[in-house]
Amino acid sequence: MTTIKDIAREAGVSVAMVSKVLNHPDCGRTETREKVLAVVKRLNYQPNHAAKSMINKRTGMIALIISDVRNPFFTEVARGLEDAANKNNYRVMLCNTDNDPLKQQSYLQALQGRIVDGFIISVASEDSRQLKKINRAELPFVLIDRECQNFRTDAVIVDNRDGAVKAVRHLLNNGRRRVGFIAGKQNTQTGRERMQGYCDALAEQGIAVEQQLIKEGHFTISGGYQAAKALLELPECPDALFIANNAMTMGALRALTEARVRIPKKIALVSFDDVEWAEFFTPPLTVIRQPTYTMGSLAGEILFQRLTEAKQSEIKEIVLRPELIVRKSCGSSLNG
């Protein structure tokens, strides 16, 4: 590999001079500068990253820790983060945990060797012990999507309860009375908040929560399928469905198709999470859209600020509002 020494030799100057020319635009005589720059170009020289970061105490890299890149939710977050990162001259490293705290721990460990300058994380569990061990001043990080228990730190999250309320309220406002709910894991914050929203929206209109209308779908495709099937077999079938995430929606959709249920005629449907294909589905799906790209770029901005600020400013907790996107599956009167 070409090193700074090679450049120095070829250009007939010292390594110190090369370094100065490269790092300080207004250093050295014009003649010297040009001489050095010419050799740099000719030899296609690129400073060694490890050596630089050792001195600068800056790697120019951040990590994004999520459960799985294949989830369109995270994919969008990743893109938002990467765009923000590039704008700030950072690169992004990707870490999939599959929601396994052990995998998460292994990544966290590695990151503490200063592979990166900071990281964004959607935690694998609500347990805050792993993160509490990390010195935020040395290795700043920002939580996204989920928070930890008893642990206040920088975070960008979504108001899940609000999203669920909007969904169920919309269904109710369009005349539906028996709204089935395919819930997510109740040992997660997002799962519980969406459940809360469902209950709150019913309460608003004085409708009692019926336990049999609520099925847990574990946030998975097969869970959604099973839950939808169970709901359809109820003696008194629901006339609407609120589904707590995109994976379960796919499963539920299959169950509804198999049972030849007409959407929205027989059952109206609103799903949490907007995905690319939702608007191309027949009928196009009414959804609660989370501002995922924004979540990624905002989390990035907060992190980059931490990385440059002289002394720690106060903790930033940003709560984003999800948005109801009315399409056809909800049978809204707006569609005529």
The window from 9-17, 78-86, 176-184, 305-313 that contacts its own copies (CB under 8 A) reads: 78-86
Report d(CA 68, CA 100) in Å as an integer. Answer: 11
The window from 33-41, 71-79, 176-184, 191-199 that contacts its own copies (CB under 8 A) reads: 71-79
Report d(CA 232, CA 226) in Å as an integer. Answer: 10
Minimum distance of its own copies from residue 123's CB (angstroms): 19
Sequence-separated (6 or more) residues with CB below 8 Å from residue 131? 108, 121, 123, 141, 148, 151, 153
Backbone angles phi, psi at 182, to 5 degrees: -95, 105
Number of CB atoms found within 10 A of residue 109's CB: 11
Number of CB atoms found within 10 A of residue 103's CB: 16
| 250 within 8 A of 221, measured Cβ to Cβ | yes
Residue 22 per-residue DSSP state: H
Residue 48 as a binder of DNA (CB under 7 A): the answer is: yes
Alpha carbon of 332 to those of 104, 130, 273, 280: distances in Å? 43, 46, 18, 17
> Which of DNA, its own copies, none sits in contact with 27, Cβ below 5 to 8 A by type?
DNA
Structure token pair of residue 332: 């809204």
Report d(CA 307, CA 141) in Å as an integer. Answer: 10
Of the candidate residues 22, 37, 43, 110, the single one contacting its own copies (CB under 8 A)? 110
Residue 91 as a binder of its own copies (CB under 8 A): the answer is: yes
Of the candidate residues 1, 25, 31, 308, the single one contacting its own copies (CB under 8 A)? 1
Residue 136 as a binder of its own copies (CB under 8 A): the answer is: no
Minimum distance of DNA from residue 109's CB (angstroms): 13
Minimum distance of DNA from residue 93's CB (angstroms): 19
Among residues 327, 325, 307, 273, the alpha carbon closest in space to that of 77 is found at: 273
Residue 61 as a binder of its own copies (CB under 8 A): the answer is: yes
> Which of DNA, its own copies, none sits in contact with 32, Cβ below 5 to 8 A by type?
DNA
Residue 69's identity, in one-letter code, is: V
Of the candidate residues 25, 29, 137, 211, the single one contacting DNA (CB under 7 A)? 29
Cα–chain center distance at 99: 13
Residue 276 as a binder of DNA (CB under 7 A): the answer is: no
Number of CB atoms found within 10 A of residue 25's CB: 7
Residue 61's identity, in one-letter code, is: M
Residue 47 as a binder of its own copies (CB under 8 A): the answer is: yes
Nearer to DNA, 27 or 38 (CB): 27
Nearer to DNA, 5 or 91 (CB): 5
Minimum distance of its own copies from residue 4's CB (angstroms): 12
Residue 16 as a binder of DNA (CB under 7 A): the answer is: yes
Minimum distance of its own copies from residue 118's CB (angstroms): 14
Minimum distance of its own copies from residue 281's CB (angstroms): 7
> Which of its own copies, DNA, none sits in contact with 93, Cβ below 5 to 8 A by type?
its own copies
Sequence-separated (6 or more) residues with CB below 8 Å from residue 216? 182, 183, 184, 185, 186, 223, 227
Of the candidate residues 54, 203, 315, 334, the single one contacting its own copies (CB under 8 A)? 54
| 27 within 8 A of 20, measured Cβ to Cβ | yes
Residue 117 per-residue DSSP state: S
Q: Which residues bind DNA (CB under 7 A)?
A: 1, 3-5, 12-20, 22-23, 27-29, 31-32, 47-48, 51-52, 54-56
**What residues make contact with its own copies under the rule CB under 8 A?**
1, 44, 46-54, 59, 61, 68-70, 72, 75-76, 78-79, 82, 91-96, 109-110, 112-115, 133, 138, 250-251, 253-254, 257, 275-277, 279-282
